[in-house]
Amino acid sequence: MRIFSVSHKTAFVVDHCPYMAESSRQLIECDMLTKSRSQGVIPLAPVSKSLWTCAIECSMEYCRILYDVYPTKKLVNYIVSDSEVHILNSWKQENQNTQELMTALAAVGPPNPRQDPECCSVLHGLVAAVESLCKITEYQHESRTTLMDTADRVANRGRIICLTNAKSDTHVRMLEDCVLETIQEQNKRAAGSDRLMPIQQCELVLVHIYPQGEETLVSDRQKKELSSVLSSEVHSVRAGRYLAGKLNVLVQQHFDLASTTITNIPMKEEQHANTSANYDVELLHHRDAHIEFIKTQPSFHCMNTSRDSGLKETVTLKWCTPRTNSVELHYCTGAYRISPVDVNSRPSSCLTNFLLNGRSVLLEQPRKSGSKVISHMLSSHGGEIFLHVLNSTRSTLEDPPSISEGCGGRVTDYRITDFGEFMRENRLTPFPESMVDAACRTPVERAKFQLERHTRYWPMIISQTTIFNMQAVVPLANLIVKDTLTDEDVLTCQKTVYNLVDMERKSDPLPISTAGSRGKGPKRDEQYRIMWNELETLVKAHVGTSERHQRVLDCISACRSKPPEEEERKKRGRKREDKEDKTEKNGKDTEEKGWTTDSERLKGVMEREKDEQSECEIIKDSPDSPEPLNKKPRLATEEQQPPEKSKGPVSLLTLWTNRITQANSRKHQEFAGRLSSVNSKAELYQHLKEENGMDVHENGKATR
Amino acid sequence: MPTVVLLDSSLSMTRPVSVEGSEEFQRKNLAVHGMTMLFEHMATNYRLEFTSLVAFSSLWELLVPFSRDYNTLQEALNNLEDYDKTCLEAALQGVSNVVQQEWGTSCPCQVVLVTDGALGIGRGSLRHSLQTVKQRVDDKKFPLPFPFPSKLYVMCIANAEELQATDSMDNLEQLINLNGGEGQIYTMEGPLCLKSVQSMFGKLIDQAYSPFHAVLRCGNLTSDVQVFPRPEPVTIDEEVDPIPKTVQTEGDEIGTGATDDTEEETSTNQMAGKSPNFCVLLHGSLKVEGMVALVQLGPDWFGMLYSQADSKKKSNLMMSLFDPGSEPLPWLGRMSQLGPASDAAENPYGEDDSKSPFPIQPKHKRSYAQNVTVWIKASGLQTDVQKILRNAKKLPEKTQTFYKELNRLRKAALAFGFWELLKSVAELLERECTLLPDSAHPDAAFQLSHAAQQLKLASSGDSKYAAFEQNITPMLTDFSGGGGADRI
């Protein structure tokens, strides 16, 4: 249904003239209990509703069903007419509920039989209804303002349902003519106004109500076009349950509803708690919930005439007693709100309470033979019950391939638990409409922004990271991703860094992954270098967020261990780095992507390291090959000094190594680096330093 | 989206095509060549889609039921037989039945009709079918439009001039119109040869079988994904907003809630890769945590990602698309108003994960959740009156419930303008009062006559007593909780 169809606006016009106070002559016995109890008592006379009461309760029922199924965008304007017009509510969404209407109706009260019939007429109400249909609703307004240049696509259509007691067919003609004239008048007025819209289409539904036992003075008439704008239909109905039935059929026609009867609902008997009987409950909902039946079998076999609502059809579905409370995902193709036809009957309220308490009921198509076909499910969400349509045929989604067959499916050390934690930290919650933050971002934009911040440095697998495997880093890692840091937060981060320094001093082992390389992996100081580098990468990714974030980075730079030569080089490079900082601050966009390259570089370095190590390890493990010379200086800096200069006795190993070294050196050309070395130390990757600035020394390998 | 290939196997398909080379081709060979190309494309790019093959002449036959096994389909093409004349209507009815039996009526399907454009003569010909289309009785309706959402592609092993020479083109166009304009006619350009049949099927592949590649993005974590079945554009309210909404290829994963429906599926490519992929990480965590991720597919269009397991061993990342709109699931509220939980003053999920801000409760309760009063059936009214009487007999113990029920009835009667009922119930209560046994608590009599009097006052319509919001409160007596005695 299009949003601005005739059903967008419904104006109820109820006649409040003296003749509506007449009795419907449908008698209701309310003195039932006493009959059997005490013989001596004369039962009270039965009560009977007035035409007015009948009209009100049936129109309220119409609204109840409408609001249950369409809580928004389908609006009712309720008008009562006697010698004047009483408009009980407006098109505003906040006015759209039955309680408010009931309160207003109580204030109006029943028609006064002593009022002068001459000055009372339903015409006042009809005129007011047309005027009201010209008034723009908040939805029309919103659409017009958002569409701007195509605002003329927003249509203005509506329906007037008039509940009255007409004198004759001529009287009905007169009412129709009046509506037609008023529309023409009002459309002229509306053309020149901003808050009004001309009516493009109007459906007039006249319901003539007459007391039981009387002959009707008005004949039924099918829908007829009175003009290009107005169509009209007349229903002549006896008061009481006939009227209720009629309005029930109308609400279904007007709002594309269909009926489903749930059958076989087991219910404990009120009197005998041990026995249970089966009951039926009829529900109304949008017609689309039956789309499968309508399309496949026009004369679907479980369609039958419902007892309650006259001629209309209902689909019967069988209750399947829920086995467990397990949450299962079903192939659901749609969910539609429901409204029970007989809302406060015991079977209805039992069913709705069961559902409102969080249980779900699967519904089965009644079949004489063959396997069970479950086609629908009833379940509530947030106090509203929905009829879910389940796919009962074969699904095109069957037998999907396993995710492990796809890209990255064979990687086994994903940080599944950590990402679960990440997801829980990034969960969403609804915010009130009015809450907009300083930067005018909607909550959902803020959520995306938060995701961006939280993922600036987020290695996906365990072997790619050290710091995220360390409990000690957690406080810093949690804080640094925040948009703003307090001084206390900075302090916590600093404490984390000091704690790491302490760990390094004590040479605590680090959870460096040894995956992919045999042996023990890198040495302790190497491990700490990797850890510090990664921590810097993480913090650097957030350094632009605020000055306090910068302070955390400063703390790391100040505290992290570096070989003395590196410190020196650092000083030399500082000037250059400062320059870089400035450029970084100038161009924030480039900085945002900064971590990617950083981490990539880090990854590269780590991999290179790993490769080298594993190579070394392999060679070391093999007894046949001599230990490579460049392995030596790695063990300790002291040993880098030539053995000749060392004091004390020379070990056999040293003697042997020296000999071999000399022998070997004759067999190959000396490395260019070793030739130009100072104190047998040469700077590696000098070209990198020129290309990338100071980052080079931080990979911790420049000394070799 | 499943495909039915409907192949014309009438004798006219065996007409030879003049090719300058030595080898002589039949139109059928060209058709088979084109279909082979289509199947090969699908086997590589669309292997999760189901395809079936139906051959027809005056009768129709399901050669291959819906399958992902493209070898079987290819094999069937190699073993085709030639039959008699072309009767398209019966074949289309057959396709309609085959699809509905397999997938029901809500699953969209593509129907590829491969024909030479000679659409039969006399009874059973398309011309005849179309001429009589308006004179059908209910059970012999023309099969188009198909009851399921569909696209009908007509692949003509003929060129446009040839078709326009007869009324074939007109008839085919009419056929597409009957299907609500959903579909397209392809003809061959230039001479009928392998090359032009390739180019024709190439166009179909571009139009209807292009794989859907997208990027799934969660902040800086991204992954390339392919989506099966391809999400199709949707037009919601064609009056106000007639532009079809298409899924943007950049999916933004936003965050997580917890809910329950299914529609679409994503799946990664079969390129076995050892480099970590965000999809796998996301899937693993969603599965372990039992969560779903919201994904934004375009402006005001959302969906959700979750782990879906078909059997216990195999699970994959699935994407369900919601209806386009700003509030697709009422219990999640407006999507744009969902923000990070960490921004809330208090953790909406509770410190120990025991709470949830969802589902959002609607502003007004639905009628079935608020104990409304409906007296349309006499039994409804009688039950309400009896409830009052039942409680009246148990006064003063049931004073609270008695007045609660009494006020409920009073409110409804006032709203419905049913003052007569108020009087009647007042009389009932007065009579109850006279019938009280000697053993009854003295308070009962006081409360009953008080209630009766208040109802009578309300039935007068006097605004002082008939205000809707006002309630009848229990009378304070010396017996009711000793309150009266204290005051003296």
**Tens digit of pLDDT for each residue in A54-90?**
999 999 999 999 999 999 899 999 999 998 999 999 9
pLDDT of B260 strictly over 60: no
What's the whole-model pTM score? 0.78
pLDDT of A162 strictly over 60: yes
Q: Does B138 touch chain A (CB under 8 A)?
A: yes
Give the distance from residue A646's alpha carbon to the nearest chain B alpha carbon, in angstroms: 49
Asked whether the beta carbons of residue A241 and residue B218 sit closer than 8 angstroms, the reply is no
Residue range A415-420: average pLDDT? 89
Residues whose CB is less than 8 angstroms from the CB of residue B236 and which lie 6 or more positions away in sequence, other chains included = B245, B323, B324, B325
Q: Which residue of A has its CA nearest to B256?
A: A427
Mean pLDDT of all residues in chain A?
78
Q: Computed over its alpha carbons, how large is the radius of gyration of chain A?
A: 41
Residue range B347-370: average pLDDT? 84
Q: Does B97 touch chain A (CB under 8 A)?
A: no
Q: Does A33 touch chain B (CB under 8 A)?
A: yes
* Distance in angstroms (rounded) separating the CA atoms of residues A505 and B370: 68
Looking at residue B414, its pLDDT comes to 92
For residue A392, the chain B residues in CB contact (below 8 A) are 104
* Distance in angstroms (rounded) separating the CA atoms of residues B340 and A381: 22
From chain A residues 291-350, the ones with a CB under 8 A of any chain B CB are 291-292, 295-296, 298, 327, 329-333, 335, 337, 339-340, 342-345, 348-349
For residue A247, the chain B residues in CB contact (below 8 A) are none
CA-nearest of B210, B217, B219 to B305 is: B217
- The closest CB to that of B147, out of A49, A295, A331, belongs to A295
Asked whether the beta carbons of residue B284 and residue A419 sit closer than 8 angstroms, the reply is yes
Asked whether the beta carbons of residue A408 and residue B277 sit closer than 8 angstroms, the reply is yes
| Coil vs helix vs strand at A201 | strand
Residues A149-180 as b/e (b if ≥16 CB within 10 A, e otherwise) read eeeebbbbbbbbbbbbbbeeeebbeebbebbb
Looking at residue B410, its pLDDT comes to 93
| Coil vs helix vs strand at A266 | strand
- A519 or B441: which carries more pLDDT confidence? B441
Q: Which residue of A has its CA nearest to B469?
A: A103
pLDDT of B253 strictly over 60: no
CA-nearest of A226, A253, A187, A248 to A60 is: A248
* Distance in angstroms (rounded) separating the CA atoms of residues B26 and B86: 17
In terms of C-beta density within 10 A (0-12 exposed, 13-18 middle, 19 or more buried), how is residue A432 classed? exposed
Q: Does A148 touch chain B (CB under 8 A)?
A: no
pLDDT grade, residue A292 (50/70/90)? confident
Residues whose CB is less than 8 angstroms from the CB of residue A154 and which lie 6 or more positions away in sequence, other chains included = A4, A140, A143, A144, A147, A197, B240
Residues whose CB is less than 8 angstroms from the CB of residue B201 and which lie 6 or more positions away in sequence, other chains included = B34, B35, B37, B38, B155
* Distance in angstroms (rounded) separating the CA atoms of residues A277 and A347: 11
Which of B224, B228, B280 has the highest number of chain A CBs within 10 A, making it the mutation to test binding with A? B280
* Distance in angstroms (rounded) separating the CA atoms of residues A158 and A137: 11
State the Cα angle at B402 between B400 and B408, rounded to 5°: 100
Looking at residue A522, its pLDDT comes to 66
CA-nearest of B10, B3, B16 to B117 is: B10
For residue B381, the chain A residues in CB contact (below 8 A) are 28, 30
State the Cα angle at A284 between A279 and A285, rounded to 5°: 130
Asked whether the beta carbons of residue B272 and residue A409 sit closer than 8 angstroms, the reply is yes
Query: What is the DSSP-derived secondary structure letter of residue A217?
Result: S
Which of A50, A95, A327, A431 has the highest number of chain B CBs within 10 A, making it the mutation to test binding with B? A431
Interface A-B, measured as beta-carbon pairs within 8 A, has a size of 428
Residue range A258-285: average pLDDT? 83
* Distance in angstroms (rounded) separating the CA atoms of residues B278 and A109: 66
Most confident of A31-40, A335-344, A476-485: A335-344
Query: What is the DSSP-derived secondary structure letter of residue B106?
Result: T
Tell me the residue type at A290.
H
Residue range A165-173: average pLDDT? 91
Looking at residue B82, its pLDDT comes to 82
Residues whose CB is less than 8 angstroms from the CB of residue A468 and which lie 6 or more positions away in sequence, other chains included = A415, A418, A459, A477
- B462 or A160: which carries more pLDDT confidence? A160
pLDDT of B486 strictly over 60: no
Give the distance from residue B345's alpha carbon to the nearest chain A alpha carbon, in angstroms: 11
- Paired with B17 in beta bridges are B25
pLDDT grade, residue A469 (50/70/90)? confident
From chain A residues 596-615, the ones with a CB under 8 A of any chain B CB are 596
- The closest CB to that of A447, out of B254, B331, B411, belongs to B254
Asked whether the beta carbons of residue B107 and residue A427 sit closer than 8 angstroms, the reply is no
Residue range B179-183: average pLDDT? 87
The reply to whether ipTM tops 0.85 is no
User: Between A241-254 and A51-69, two packed helices, what is the crossing angle to 10 degrees?
Assistant: 30
* Distance in angstroms (rounded) separating the CA atoms of residues B359 and B258: 9
Mean pLDDT lowest for which of A10-24, A34-48, B234-248, B334-348?
Answer: B234-248
Q: Does A678 touch chain B (CB under 8 A)?
A: no
- The closest CB to that of B468, out of A103, A340, A596, belongs to A103
In tens, the pLDDT along B118-130 reads 887 777 788 888 8
Looking at residue B407, its pLDDT comes to 93
* Distance in angstroms (rounded) separating the CA atoms of residues B69 and B116: 27
pLDDT of A37 strictly over 60: no
* Distance in angstroms (rounded) separating the CA atoms of residues B486 and B482: 7
- A334 or B257: which carries more pLDDT confidence? A334
Strand locations in A354-445, DSSP E? 361-364, 374-381, 384-390, 428-430
Q: Does B150 touch chain A (CB under 8 A)?
A: no
Strand locations in B194-263, DSSP E? 212-218, 221-228, 250-257
From chain B residues 233-262, the ones with a CB under 8 A of any chain A CB are 237-240, 242, 252-257, 260-262
Asked whether the beta carbons of residue B106 and residue A391 sit closer than 8 angstroms, the reply is yes
pLDDT of B252 strictly over 80: no
State how beta strands A257-268 and A313-320 pair: parallel
* Distance in angstroms (rounded) separating the CA atoms of residues A335 and A385: 9
Asked whether the beta carbons of residue A327 and residue B260 sit closer than 8 angstroms, the reply is yes
pLDDT of A264 strictly over 50: yes
State how beta strands B301-309 and B315-321 pair: antiparallel
Lookup: tokens for B126: 């398309």
Residues whose CB is less than 8 angstroms from the CB of residue A365 and which lie 6 or more positions away in sequence, other chains included = A302, A317, A318, A373, A374, A375, A392
Q: Does A139 touch chain B (CB under 8 A)?
A: no
For residue A402, the chain B residues in CB contact (below 8 A) are 313-316
Residue range A622-636: average pLDDT? 42
In tens, the pLDDT along A527-541 reads 888 888 888 889 888
Asked whether the beta carbons of residue A38 and residue B435 sit closer than 8 angstroms, the reply is yes
* Distance in angstroms (rounded) separating the CA atoms of residues B141 and B133: 8
pLDDT of A457 strictly over 70: yes
pLDDT grade, residue B5 (50/70/90)? very high
Tell me the residue type at B410.
R
Give the CA dihedral A133, A134, A135, A141, nearest 10 degrees: 110
Looking at residue A437, its pLDDT comes to 60
Q: Which residue has the tokens 């007042």?
A: B426
* Distance in angstroms (rounded) separating the CA atoms of residues B209 and B34: 14
For residue A154, the chain B residues in CB contact (below 8 A) are 240
Lookup: tokens for A59: 């129109």
Lookup: tokens for A462: 């365990």
CA-nearest of A79, A76, A59 to A16 is: A79
In tens, the pLDDT along A574-590 reads 555 454 444 444 444 44
pLDDT of B338 strictly over 60: yes
* Distance in angstroms (rounded) separating the CA atoms of residues B449 and A672: 116
Q: How far from the centroid of its chain's Cα atoms is residue A493's Cα?
A: 35
* Distance in angstroms (rounded) separating the CA atoms of residues A427 and B254: 9
Q: Which residue has the tokens 């024909």?
A: B115
